[in-house]
Structure formats: C-alpha cells, structure tokens
Structure 1
Amino acid sequence: MENKPSFYHNNRRFYNWVVYDVADEFITKYSNHYQGVLYDLGCGTKPYEEYFKQFCNSYVGVDWSNTLHDLKADIVVDLNKVFPIDDEVADTLVSFSVMEHLCEPQLFLNESYRILKKDGVFVLQVPFMWHVHEEPFDFYRYTIYGLKYMFEKAGYTNIEVEASTGFWVNWFLKLNYQLIRVLPGNSLKKKLLRSVLKPFVKYNQKLAVYLDRRWPKTDKETQGYWVVAKK
C-alpha cells in the first residue's frame, strides 16, 4: 500500500478504494512524463507530492483559498481566472478531479497552456459518471469528445484520452456510494445493516475489477477520463 501514489489521499475509503487503485495505475503509467518543475493544479492536500518528487526536480502545489480541504498550496490561485504565474515556467502539469469544479474550464486550459514550457506535458483526470460532490462548486462532466475539443482549442497537440474504468467498476462504485448513505445510525437495525453492507461494499470492488478485465471495454460507460496532451 505504501508504494501506491494514493497512499496519502484522505478520500480513500473501504467503499471506494478501487477508484484510487485505478488512478494509481494511470499515474504510474504516465510517470515518464513527470520531470523538471511540476505544477499540480488544484493540489488540495497535496496527496501525490511525495510520489511526484521521485521524478521531478521540484513540485509546486496550486489551489484556491476557498478549497474545502486544508489549504496546503504553495501558490494560491483562482483557477477560474488568469493565473498570476509567469509564462512557460512548468515542465509538467498535473490536475486530478479538478476541472469539473471550475466554472471557467476553457480559461483554465488556456492558462495551463500559457504557463507550460514548449514540449511540456499536461496529465489531467476528470470524472464522467460521478455523483455531484463538493457542491455548489461542481459544474460540469466531460465526454471524450468535449475534452479533445477543449484541449485543441487551448492549443495542445498529441492529445490522448483514455477511459479510467469499464462498466462494472463504474456501476459498483455508484452502488457503493448509494449504499453507504444508509449506514449511519446507532439503532440495532442500522448496526445489523452495517455488519452486512460493509464487507459487501469493500469486496464487491474486487468482483468489479475481475468483470471489467473480462468484459469488452467501452469508453462510453466509465467513471472518468485521463488526458495526456503536449504543448
């Protein structure tokens, strides 16, 4: 567990660990892109900082002051506005589960392009089939086509978009989040329900992974998307 990029992520729980395992696979897969000065746009509590520092020369966390997490950003920026950051300062950009929370996502991509050095790479993840969260700051969901269009509009090239999961991982995650909403409470009925549901939601994710690996994968039924794009 300790060597997983998501080891320090405070949102990893027994009912959703699979989505972080999936993210770990993608983050590890793209590790050859992490180099030089790396900016983490929407860094939150900086759960991936230690992992990225294995590859890059320096890590810079960027987030806004209204974050719902503990503010740990090195640079405080409203990502919906022009960044108070110089042109072409970053060799690498990363941004995970951030763009859905931005009311001006195209400006965000335009600004990311501006601060990225020539031949630099942006690795981004966004949810697709995911519940509304951190409201009221949850504005959009993106398809593979919308992502390609917006990145191209910002100036990026060599844009690759991959679905993060297949149908089954996505479906079981949605089921688990629905089930945990009925777990809180101290009545005998609630305690009995927890004793049944907790093991179920923890281990059904293993079944979901098994089914996804044996089912024809589609990019239309997925928890989210990963984008790798070059300036």
Structure 2
Amino acid sequence: MRLAQKPASSPGGLLRRPLLDYLRGAMFDASLLGFFINPYHITRRRLHNAIKLLSSSAQGTLLDVGCGSKPYETLFPNVSAYIGCDLEISGHNHHRSRIDYFYDGKSLPFANGSYDWVVSFETFEHIFNLDQVLNEIQRVLKPGGHLLVTVPFCWGEHEVPHDFARYSSFGLVFLLEGHGFEIIQHQRTGSYLLTLTQLFQNYVFHYLLPRKGRLNFLIAPLIFLPMNIVVLLLDLILPKGPELYLNNVILCRKAPEVQA
C-alpha cells in the first residue's frame, strides 16, 4: 500500500486557488456558471444530477476507484470516510488530484470487506483488465455493500493512450451481473439530440476556438449559451431516441452473506 504525496503549492497558487477551484467545479457540477461557459455542460449536468440522486443513501466507508480530483465527493455528505485510490501513472498528471492511495492497477491495497460503498466515475473505459478490477471491487466491498459507477457510451478518445473501451448498457449489465452484482438502478443520460449537440460542442471547443484559455473564457458564453438554450427547448418536444446517449449510471449491490 502506498500513500499518495500531496503536491506543494506556491504562494501565488494559494492566492489563485479559490477562483480556480470555483471554475474547475463549474466543469463538473450543475451550476449556472457551467451553463454559460462549460463546453461539457450537457454531459456534466446530467452526470451530476444522476449521481446526486443515488448518493444520498450512501453511508459508512466509501472508496473512490480512479478518484482523480474527487469531483463528486461533496455529493456524499453522509459517509464517514471518503477514500480515493488511483494509478500513479495514468493518462493524466496528478497536479490537481486528491489521491489517498496509489494502486498497481491489479490489486486494491485494502483488506477484504473494507468498504460499505465503492464508486467509480468515468474510469472503467480506462481499465484494460476490467474483469480483474471488478473482482477486486467485489473483494473489498462488505456483503450487501453498494457499487455506483458511471461509464461513457458516446465520447471521443481521451487520456490517450489509456482509453481502451466503450460499453453499451447491455455490456455493462452483463459484466456486473457476471461478477455477482445485483443491478438496483440503471440510467442512460442524455437524449439522441443532446448527445449530438454535446459532440458538436466538443468539436467547436477543441478545433474552432482559440487555444488560449482566457480568450476561450470570453468567447465561450457567446457560443455555448445560445446553443444550450435552443437544444434544451428542442429536447422537450422532439423524440428522445434512447439508443444514442452519453453515459451509463448504474447502482448495484454485492450479495449479502447467506446465514446458515
């Protein structure tokens, strides 16, 4: 087991941290600011809301596998401990990460039945040996413990070359049930129209806007705000088209021990 070392911050970084943390938060939560400036708002809002709906019942000890910066930790106010675990070398640097323990990608460094909940957000697509990791998640969960995962279905390659798979809703159910998990709730986020719009916004952000961050910050509201307003209105009246969507959000449970 290896504890992660927290990176040191410069005085200038400390002064900028409140603003930077707020802006980074807007990239993950359902805030009004994200509606104006975030090119990923369609995806992030639906992920945030789906996780929030399922997280309120979480209690006890919780392990976040692939935790990164722990963007959804605040949605779990009732847990007694929120522990983050991640790879030391992955598709992104850990400058902003809040990792408590590193693991080797094969074995989680915890005893059997250590956690009441395990969560993993947007991580399974980066795990080449998912069967092995699911076995480990089963092992560290207490009997009757819960697993909450979100996995993208329609999204571009990212954190390359550590991007290995896209899973359909049926594929994920097959994998989870095959490792002894009982599906409690399964949601597919985003409609056909919202998914197409999100992909187009990604294209605009990465290939048409200037690459300078400050200039992007000024231009983004002029592009994404009217686009978000129009597509959300259209989504209310047009057919949903459930076969194309953004993310799978699945809550499942490890079988409790059978009393003799």
Query: For this structure pair, what is the TM-score category when the shorter chain's length is used for normalisation?
Result: 0.7 to 0.9
Q: Which residue of 2 aligns with 1:174?
A: 199
Work out whether residues 46 and 72 of structure 1, in 8 Å CA contact, stay in contact via their aligned partners in 2.
Answer: yes
Give the C-alpha shift of residue 185 in structure 1.
6.1
TM-score, length-scaled by structure 1: 0.85
Q: Distance in 1 between matches of 2:189 and 2:45?
A: 11
Q: Which residue of 2 aligns with 1:3?
A: none
- Residues 1:119 and 2:144 are matched in the alignment: yes
Q: Distance in 1 between matches of 2:62 and 2:164?
A: 26
Work out whether residues 85 and 100 of structure 2, in 8 Å CA contact, stay in contact via their aligned partners in 1.
Answer: yes
Q: Which residue of 2 aligns with 1:19?
A: 43
Task: Give the % identical residues.
Answer: 27
The one-letter code matched in structure 2 to 1:32 is S
Structure 1 residues 40 and 8, CA gap change in structure 2 (3 angstroms): farther
Work out whether residues 66 and 85 of structure 2, in 8 Å CA contact, stay in contact via their aligned partners in 1.
Answer: yes
SS in 2 for 1:30: helix
Gaps of 5+ in 1: 1-5
Deviates more, 1:128-137 or 1:18-27: 18-27
SS in 2 for 1:227: strand
Gaps of 5+ in 2: 1-21, 29-36, 255-260
TM-score, length-scaled by structure 2: 0.76
Q: Which residue of 2 aligns with 1:65?
A: 88
Q: Which residue of 1 aligns with 2:102?
A: 76
Q: Give deviations 1:17-61, integer Å, cap 9, x for gaps.
A: 222111121111102331100111111012222332x11111101
1:146 to 149, 152, 171: 171
Matches of residues 122-133 of structure 1 in structure 2 within 5 Å? 122-133=147-158
SS in 2 for 1:163: strand
Give the C-alpha shift of residue 207 in structure 1.
2.8
Work out whether residues 148 and 159 of structure 1, in 8 Å CA contact, stay in contact via their aligned partners in 2.
Answer: no
The one-letter code matched in structure 1 to 2:224 is V
Q: Which residue of 2 aligns with 1:209?
A: 232
Q: Give deviations 1:154-173, integer Å, cap 9, x for gaps.
A: 11013532111111211111
Give the C-alpha shift of residue 105 in structure 1.
1.3
Work out whether residues 114 and 142 of structure 2, in 8 Å CA contact, stay in contact via their aligned partners in 1.
Answer: yes
User: Following superposition, which runs of at least 4 residues in structure 1 exceed 6 angstroms of deviation?
Assistant: none
Deviates more, 1:8-17 or 1:151-160: 8-17
Structure 1 residues 130 and 170, CA gap change in structure 2 (3 angstroms): same
Q: Distance in 2 between matches of 1:119 and 1:10?
A: 34
Q: Distance in 1 between matches of 2:226 and 2:110?
A: 45
Number of residue pairs the alignment of both structures matches: 217
Give the C-alpha shift of residue 203 in structure 1.
3.1
